[in-house]
Structure 1
Amino acid sequence: MQTIETPLLPKANKSMDDIETKVDELLSKMSLEEKVGQMRIVHAQIGVELGEDGQLVLSDHFKEQVKHGIAGIKNPGEHDSPETAARINNLLQKYLVENSLHGIPGMFVTESYNGVDATGTTDFSRPINMAASWNPELVQQVWDKVGREARARGMHMCHSPEADLIRDPRFGRMSEAFGEDTHLVKEMVVAAVKGVQGDYEGLSSTHIGAVTKHFAGYGQVEGGRNFASVQISERDLIDQILPPFKAAVQEAKTLGIMASHGDLNGIACHANKDLLTGILRDEWGFNGYTVSDANDIGRLFFFMNVAENEDHAALLGLEAGMNVDLYNEDCYVRLPRLARENPSLIPLIDKAAGNVLRTKFILGLFDNPYTDEAAASLISRAEDSLELALELDLDSLILLKNENNTLPISSTKPQKIALVGPLLKENTLSQFQEVAGESIEFLAEKGFALTNGDPNYPDLLTADECAPGMEKAVAAAAEADACILFVGGDEFTSKEAFFAFAIGDRASIDPVGEQVELFKRIKNLGKPVIVVLKHRRTLSINAFAADADAILDAWDPGEQGDRAIAMTLFGQSVPSGKLPATLPRTIGQLPFHYSQKKINYKKGYMFIENGPLYPFGYGLSYSSFEYANLTLSASEIDTEQSLTASITLSNTGKFTAKETVQLYIQDTHGSVIRPAKELKAFAKVQLEAGESQIVTFEITPEMLACTGADMVRKVEPGTFVVQIGGSSEDTMNASFLVK
């Protein structure tokens, strides 16, 4: 078996001036076909595998697609072990380099929603869980591990993280993003990009580049439906949607940006020059590469109908500033011919290809295109990565209800506990047994599944189909002293709705199937019922909220999730998660993010209790916290000044615990109608029982600014209210004047 020599020492980062010189020199030698080759990414599924003899096997179709070079390959070795993937990627890279006239390597690209999307890597929780932790430092550590595991198996970029705001839980991709709030999403995205890129310093050797997506506004698709249109005012786009992307570019230095599947008020994002060039490059100074979402340049023609044919679609994308065509074999492959017919396109092609080549130099691929095959298995799933996965799961669990101090459960008192419900996993019982010890006897009975398990078009199981399992689950609960009920949703009830096949969005946010009926039957037994929610979208859980003795919201945790849940239920960890999205009572209340315009709260609805079931930022603890002495450093400032806000936080309970102190700003009057309040800062603080700490925030002019009636973003004079507390609805308030 052939072994490719791979240097183990990282290469020093080249200066950007040196890199620009090398890019220009390389472009001057390349043909049009070779430049356009650097503007395309193909998927390894079209023909990359390892033969039984350990040698690379490539299909003729794959060879044809990369014969002039290629920007990158998506997911090579994704179903193989880290060491095997490293070998495949080394051999694949060797083929690309040796078959390129100029020795140009390829970038190998993965996804990273909950760790590297590949076999043999650490399974972390989803981004929505990360947001629920309200712990950017921990999130950066997690993405640091993701970057290291990906680079070890020979990957160089990931189409992650998402900087979208998700405010409609009908949308099946809710768990891929960091929630509803601009500031929380911004902090999480910056942490993710910095982590996966090794704070930029690791890009040449140990980490991979981030492709932040979907630029911009994709989470605002109408009706919560994938590929639907997006209607966002220019003001809301500037003030709410763009800041996480801007921070990814300017603070975290993301190497890539992926455009949105959608449009912005009728202008397709993949053909939006104002967005991709004007805002992204001219205003923000982005010098990485832009990449289409899957096949979306072609969809300018055959789906969105803003291009007359594939030639026109390719021109629209190129002229707008779209550098790389992902997957589609019908659009950018036309550019060499189009450029010969119209030489004015060549500078645009040079710029796009140059952006990709610059990224490859930053990644150190020209110096060392290979990875250390022996190290791949040592880095992947290392012990500290597994420990970090558990820490993240523990930090993200949200205690929504704890009637009569039902939790934590005593592990010293002998008792029998039933673990039941459709979200029970195969290893749930064993993980609970390991945590709880010998005093607790567990009965495990899943009862029934939610759907038939079809990954593309799942059907809900009927009441008749669920009935036998329902009886088993209720019988197990009847035999126990208490019941822990695992309900919510799974990978079949909330998911991506792919373009040509599959659905993933829902018209309702009620718990699906027979879950509420199962809860009611178990509750009628008169035993304590602890609900554990596992889900990928916000659910209207009115029945559970009304009658459960306790509710622990776990969202979609990683491989250590059930262990973390058990540790929390049995008091080995104190819950500290906070809601990253408002929890409505019904879908009819949408839109329902907490930071809507103030006038939206004038009227409620008939026949329901108004307000959220649980507000944004909400989360209980086994301990208790008291806020006191809110103090501002000034009562008046001018538009260019900052001030500080301080509050005394005291742990008045019996447990060492963490509390997330949240700072909101309300602009009482403006030239435009302002949000009811906006999160501007937060701090996660750990205190011993009886301990107090003064928490101080700086309030800067940027935190007070908005885009006014004249479409200029600035601080407008007037009164501002500072609100600090444990959720968006539980705060102490103080005001100051901006002169």
Structure 2
Amino acid sequence: MHIKWCTSCYGFLDLPFYNVSLTWDKRVDDLVSRLTIPEMVGQMSRGSGGTFPIPRLGIKPYAFYSECLRGDVKQPATPFPEALGLAAAFSTDVIYNVARATGIELRALNTMFSNNGSYNNGQGLSCFSPVINIMRDPRWGRNDETYGEDPYFTGVYAAAFVQGLQGNHPRYLLTNAGCKHFDAYGGPETDPMSRMEFNAVVTMRDWRTTFFPAFRACVKAGTYNIMCSYNSVNGIPACAHKQLLTDILREEWGFKGYVVSDEGAIENIISRHHYLNNTIDTIAACIDAGCNLELEPHSSLNIYSSIAQAVAAGRVEESRLRELMKPMWYTRMRLGEFDPPEMNPYKEYNVSVVQSPEHRQLALDSAMKTFVLLKNQNSFLPLNGSHFSKMAVIGPMADNPDAQTGDYSSPLD
């Protein structure tokens, strides 16, 4: 069966990558074979701002940038408890249900924006969540985004979160998960240096027993993307670390998805790590390592926008670009972008599910399960009601309602 339909107001298309009777691999191969180098650059360099459209193939822009750690961070969707609180529930059912509800609301919002023509407004279906770094230093400002310090527990939670976000349909993804930040991240914010540039010196034993287990669990659970981190690992920036991104992640663990840089991490290879000193060498190193997509900084020109020059200089093979493109297009296909909408049951979700009574109740129930009670042994704290009548809330977040909700919460409405 060969289906033809108008997919994007660019006309009726009759191309194999739209043919739902072909295998995913054949469809991806066909699509990638049709791309020019500038078109590939417009995809690989636009992880943050939204990819460029390809009108001649009827391909719309796509926003890879969505944060889904505890609800949709961009829209006034249902706000769920932060990750560290959810960890205190010690329940994979809680984390799965929160991820599932988050994915449903993200899908509904995506459909709404697609229908009103604002597809490339940042409301994509590809999540940079969950955060599964191991919490080792209280000076790191992102500890509340993690599930704590235990590698096994973090891996169990990561798998449940991935499965909840991605759904269980045999053909389509609800949304796609992305585990971050790979790897050995989570050091102090600024002391002795910025987390954007520090070098994590890690023994292989510690790497494999502390930092790898949760990411490997994430891969086993079927995550579609992994984010490489800002830091260096044993002297090599993570997004240019071939041993990390290819030898271990892909060849040893069998990861088939795409690797995206943290925002500005590729630029930092030059400006902060001083590992390399020019754009072409940096592109060559990251492409060789296996970084598919740059999450470019908003403040300056991104590095991957110069991929064509690296190809022209003989530093990057065109065939290598096409191979790195495939996992990104495969993901978009599994999200249903190139199939008739009526085939995908997830496209039936509408905005009625956003902040629905069921999801609000789930948020409340989940929050109740995050409470941790402490025993006042030997009356160590003066908590008898006769000793005080008022309580003071002090500190930099005492009167900051935005900060009180924690990192990556949905915006207050």
The letter for the 2-side match of 1:380 is: V
2:318 alignment counterpart = 346
Task: Check whether the contact 2:179–2:218 (CA below 8 A) recurs between aligned residues.
Answer: yes
2:172 alignment counterpart = 204
Measured after TM superposition, the shift of residue 202 of structure 1 is: 7.5
Name the SS for the 2:57 alignment partner. coil
Mapped to 1, the partners of 2:267 and 2:21 lie a distance apart of 33
Richer in strand (by share): 1
Are residue 24 (structure 1) and residue 41 (structure 2) matched?
Answer: no
1:102 alignment counterpart = 57
Moved more, 211-220 or 224-233: 224-233
Measured after TM superposition, the shift of residue 302 of structure 1 is: 1.3
Are residue 298 (structure 1) and residue 267 (structure 2) matched?
Answer: yes
Measured after TM superposition, the shift of residue 39 of structure 1 is: 0.8
Measured after TM superposition, the shift of residue 418 of structure 1 is: 5.2
2:335 alignment counterpart = 363
Mapped to 2, the partners of 1:369 and 1:107 lie a distance apart of 16
1:346/1:136 CA distance change after superposition, 3 Å:
same
Measured after TM superposition, the shift of residue 238 of structure 1 is: 0.9
Task: Check whether the contact 2:70–2:98 (CA below 8 A) recurs between aligned residues.
Answer: no
Note the alpha carbon deviations across 1:636-669, whole angstroms, 9 max, x for none. xxxxxxxxxxxxxxxxxxxxxxxxxxxxxxxxxx
Are residue 132 (structure 1) and residue 104 (structure 2) matched?
Answer: no
Measured after TM superposition, the shift of residue 265 of structure 1 is: 1.4
Mapped to 2, the partners of 1:194 and 1:247 lie a distance apart of 11
TM-score (norm 1): 0.46
Are residue 253 (structure 1) and residue 165 (structure 2) matched?
Answer: no
* Aligned positions of 1:30-109 closer than 5 A: 30-41=35-46, 43=48, 70=52, 96=53, 99-108=54-63, 109=65
Are residue 400 (structure 1) and residue 353 (structure 2) matched?
Answer: no
Task: Check whether the contact 1:203–1:209 (CA below 8 A) recurs between aligned residues.
Answer: no
Are residue 143 (structure 1) and residue 99 (structure 2) matched?
Answer: yes
Structure with larger RCO (C-alpha < 8 A, sep 6+): 2
Task: Check whether the contact 2:226–2:258 (CA below 8 A) recurs between aligned residues.
Answer: yes
Name the SS for the 2:195 alignment partner. coil
Mapped to 2, the partners of 1:29 and 1:132 lie a distance apart of 49
Measured after TM superposition, the shift of residue 349 of structure 1 is: 0.5
The letter for the 2-side match of 1:238 is: R
Mapped to 2, the partners of 1:344 and 1:43 lie a distance apart of 23
For residue 331 of structure 1, the aligned residue among 264, 282, 303 is 303
Name the SS for the 1:257 alignment partner. strand
Note the alpha carbon deviations across 1:667-691, whole angstroms, 9 max, x for none. xxxxxxxxxxxxxxxxxxxxxxxxx
Task: Check whether the contact 1:153–1:373 (CA below 8 A) recurs between aligned residues.
Answer: no
Mapped to 2, the partners of 1:346 and 1:190 lie a distance apart of 35
1:261/1:202 CA distance change after superposition, 3 Å:
farther
Structure 2 unmatched runs, 5+: 1-7, 10-18, 111-123
Are residue 213 (structure 1) and residue 180 (structure 2) matched?
Answer: yes
Task: Check whether the contact 2:280–2:309 (CA below 8 A) recurs between aligned residues.
Answer: no
Q: CA RMSD in A?
A: 3.7
Give the percent of matched residue pairs that are identical in Structure 1 and Structure 2: 28
The letter for the 2-side match of 1:491 is: A
Are residue 280 (structure 1) and residue 235 (structure 2) matched?
Answer: no
For residue 156 of structure 1, the aligned residue among 120, 125, 148 is 125
1:495/1:367 CA distance change after superposition, 3 Å:
closer
Measured after TM superposition, the shift of residue 352 of structure 1 is: 1.1
1:52 alignment counterpart = none
Mapped to 2, the partners of 1:194 and 1:15 lie a distance apart of 25
1:165/1:243 CA distance change after superposition, 3 Å:
same
Mapped to 2, the partners of 1:115 and 1:418 lie a distance apart of 37
Are residue 391 (structure 1) and residue 390 (structure 2) matched?
Answer: no
For residue 421 of structure 1, the aligned residue among 378, 392, 395 is 392
1:397/1:311 CA distance change after superposition, 3 Å:
same
For residue 450 of structure 1, the aligned residue among 369, 378, 396 is 396
Measured after TM superposition, the shift of residue 229 of structure 1 is: 2.4
1:282/1:42 CA distance change after superposition, 3 Å:
closer
The letter for the 2-side match of 1:182 is: P
Are residue 118 (structure 1) and residue 64 (structure 2) matched?
Answer: no
Measured after TM superposition, the shift of residue 358 of structure 1 is: 1.1
Note the alpha carbon deviations across 1:411-443, whole angstroms, 9 max, x for none. xxxx9x956432xxxxxxxxxxxxxxxxxxxxx
1:173 alignment counterpart = 142
Q: How many residues align?
A: 371
The letter for the 2-side match of 1:27 is: V
1:376 alignment counterpart = 350
Measured after TM superposition, the shift of residue 297 of structure 1 is: 1.1
1:404/1:16 CA distance change after superposition, 3 Å:
farther
1:226/1:492 CA distance change after superposition, 3 Å:
farther
The letter for the 1-side match of 2:100 is: D
Measured after TM superposition, the shift of residue 343 of structure 1 is: 7.5
1:334/1:16 CA distance change after superposition, 3 Å:
farther
Mapped to 2, the partners of 1:192 and 1:270 lie a distance apart of 24
Note the alpha carbon deviations across 1:146-201, whole angstroms, 9 max, x for none. 111111111311111011101111111000010000111111111111111114x2
Mapped to 2, the partners of 1:119 and 1:493 lie a distance apart of 15
The letter for the 2-side match of 1:34 is: E
Mapped to 1, the partners of 2:283 and 2:320 lie a distance apart of 12
Mapped to 1, the partners of 2:379 and 2:91 lie a distance apart of 26
Are residue 491 (structure 1) and residue 403 (structure 2) matched?
Answer: yes
Measured after TM superposition, the shift of residue 363 of structure 1 is: 1.2
Task: Check whether the contact 2:70–2:99 (CA below 8 A) recurs between aligned residues.
Answer: no
1:320 alignment counterpart = 289
1:628 alignment counterpart = none
1:653 alignment counterpart = none
For residue 258 of structure 2, the aligned residue among 284, 289, 302 is 289
